[in-house]
Amino acid sequence: MAENVDRLFVHCRQLVTLTDGAPTGPRRGPAMQALGIVHDGAIAVRDGRIVAVGPTERLGREYRARDELDLTGFVVLPGFVDAHTHPVFAHTREHEFHLRCAGADYMAIAAAGGGILSSMHALRAMAEDELAARTERHLWGFLANGTTTVEGKSGYGLSLVDEHKSLRALQRAGARVPIGCKRTFLGAHEFPPEFRQDREAYVRLLCDEMMPALAPLAHYCDVFAEPGVFDRQQSERILQAARRHGLRLRMHADEIQPMGGAELAVQLGADSADHLGRISDAGIAAMANSDTTGVLLPGTILFLAKPHYAPARRMIDAGCAVAIATDFNPGSCYTQSMTLVMTLACAQMKMRAEEVITAATINPAFSLQLDAEVGTLHPGKRADLCVLDIPSWEAVGYAFGGNPVVMTIKDGVPVSANVQEQHPEWGASGRARP
């Protein structure tokens, strides 16, 4: 007798389950290549959770569903997990992009009062309702790009009331959009103008007033540790205070200048050290076999036209847990496309196709303590899926510049669909249009 489920997704040209590896924990080294591919694959879903994955032929016999969706011709992956984004902002900064293209430096623009401070002025002037509405649109944008779980940071308020407004806006937006959303307090993103002459006073404000007031609204605390912004000692104080208030830790580390940020993240037991374009050999050694995931953001390096892509190859070979993310923000990386980031990870950081899939799914899920819930298609996890119009899983990274995501499925329900052109040269017969 066939077992009843709510929904069956059938005839996926290739179903990338990642079930050849452990369901939880980070994947390191060669384990990043265990994809568990099923040809003509199917997924059975009940109550938003995966009941079974396997060949359509077998699941069609073993399960009966009220609802069946034919995904003929498409490659299906676990929904992407984007573990580093700044989606709460009030305006875009395209003029800075063109200033950089004309030769201006990112940190010089920031030092002159542009950059993060320009976003701060715009955000402070915006009411919470409007900010929440804009953030909600950004969350829908992630879904359209195949991302079903996102980490979002505050950090353009830089005062107690404006950081509170930012985290509230993100919380409200997250409640309205079918996407998994973890919130990060990034009050230590920059020194606001009123504290430029007394930086110590802002660090005290962060530790003594903002942290206790805002910790209930966030899961993580992050710091932009960078020469000229928060130095090593300030970063450490802020993160220690965050931990005392029950927050877990993430870090913008070694992005533009090396600063021992990766080493500090490991020393503090942070869940992630992000960017790492200038990580040192000692930093790689510290991260190897630690549970601090390296969240690499090659879109930012591209957009800032910097030469220093993170040394992903050496990090993977050393046994670091490696993830990739968009860093979506109005200043240094205005993209929500994990598939574009995958292209950059392959072409510029020399990662393998299998590795970028792992780095966009289970490894970032681990860095967000969501690896038991998402990141692979093991039975019991949420049925979060990304449906791609590409000829094979190896075309992850290969197909770039457009959005190959035709459908995004969250908790077993299609929540976003993009109509695409047909690609008859890929040889699919009877491609389903979602």
Q: Of 330, 337, 342, 329, nearest to 393 (Cα)?
A: 342
Among ligand NIG, Fe ion, none, the one that 255 touches (CB under a kind-dependent 5 to 8 A) is ligand NIG
User: Which residue has its beta carbon closest to Fe ion?
Assistant: 327
Report yes or no: 246 and 275 within 8 Å, Cβ to Cβ.
Answer: no
Q: How many residues bind Fe ion (CB under 5 A)?
A: 1
Cross-strand bridge partners of residue 44:
8, 52
Residues 6+ apart with CB under 8 A from 359: 32, 296, 322, 323, 324, 345, 351
Q: Of 45, 42, 39, 36, nearest to 17 (Cα)?
A: 36
Among Fe ion, ligand NIG, none, the one that 330 touches (CB under a kind-dependent 5 to 8 A) is ligand NIG
Report yes or no: 163 and 157 within 8 Å, Cβ to Cβ.
Answer: yes
Q: Which is nearer to ligand NIG, 59 or 221 (CB)?
A: 221
Q: How far is the CB of 277 from ligand NIG (least distance, A)?
A: 10
Strand, helix or coil for residue 346: helix
At residue 343, what are phi and psi to the nearest 5 degrees? -60, -45
Among Fe ion, ligand NIG, none, the one that 116 touches (CB under a kind-dependent 5 to 8 A) is ligand NIG
Site string for Fe ion, 322-351 (x = CB under 5 A): -----x------------------------
Q: Which is nearer to Fe ion, 51 or 218 (CB)?
A: 218
Q: Which is nearer to ligand NIG, 132 or 333 (CB)?
A: 333
Q: How far is the CB of 115 from ligand NIG (least distance, A)?
A: 5
Q: Of 58, 97, 149, nearest to 367 (Cα)?
A: 149
Which helix (H) or strand (E) segment holds residue 6: the answer is strand 3-16
Report yes or no: 77 and 375 within 8 Å, Cβ to Cβ.
Answer: no
**Quick check: 82 binds Fe ion (CB under 5 A)?**
no
Among ligand NIG, Fe ion, none, the one that 135 touches (CB under a kind-dependent 5 to 8 A) is none
**Quick check: 190 binds Fe ion (CB under 5 A)?**
no
Report yes or no: 319 and 289 within 8 Å, Cβ to Cβ.
Answer: yes
Q: How far is the CB of 110 from ligand NIG (least distance, A)?
A: 7
Q: Which is nearer to Fe ion, 331 or 397 (CB)?
A: 331
Q: How far is the CB of 339 from ligand NIG (least distance, A)?
A: 20
What is the chain's Cα-based Rg? 21
Q: How far is the CB of 35 from ligand NIG (least distance, A)?
A: 29
Q: Which is nearer to ligand NIG, 187 or 434 (CB)?
A: 187
Measured CA distances, 148 to 204, 297, 430 (Å):
36, 18, 27
Q: Which is nearer to ligand NIG, 14 or 300 (CB)?
A: 300
Q: Which is nearer to Fe ion, 43 or 273 (CB)?
A: 273
Report yes or no: 21 and 36 within 8 Å, Cβ to Cβ.
Answer: yes
The residue length of the chain stands at 434
Residues interacting with ligand NIG, by CB under 6 A? 86, 115-116, 119, 224, 252, 255, 300, 327, 329-332
Among ligand NIG, Fe ion, none, the one that 342 touches (CB under a kind-dependent 5 to 8 A) is none
Site string for Fe ion, 301-320 (x = CB under 5 A): --------------------
Q: How far is the CB of 373 from ligand NIG (least distance, A)?
A: 25
Look at the alpha carbons of 5, 7, 11, 17 in this order and tell me if their dihedral is positive or negative. negative
Q: How far is the CB of 252 from Fe ion (least distance, A)?
A: 6
Q: Which is nearer to ligand NIG, 226 or 354 (CB)?
A: 226
Q: Which is nearer to ligand NIG, 56 or 234 (CB)?
A: 234
At residue 187, what are phi and psi to the nearest 5 degrees? -60, -25
| Interacting residue ranges for Fe ion, rule: CB under 5 A | 327
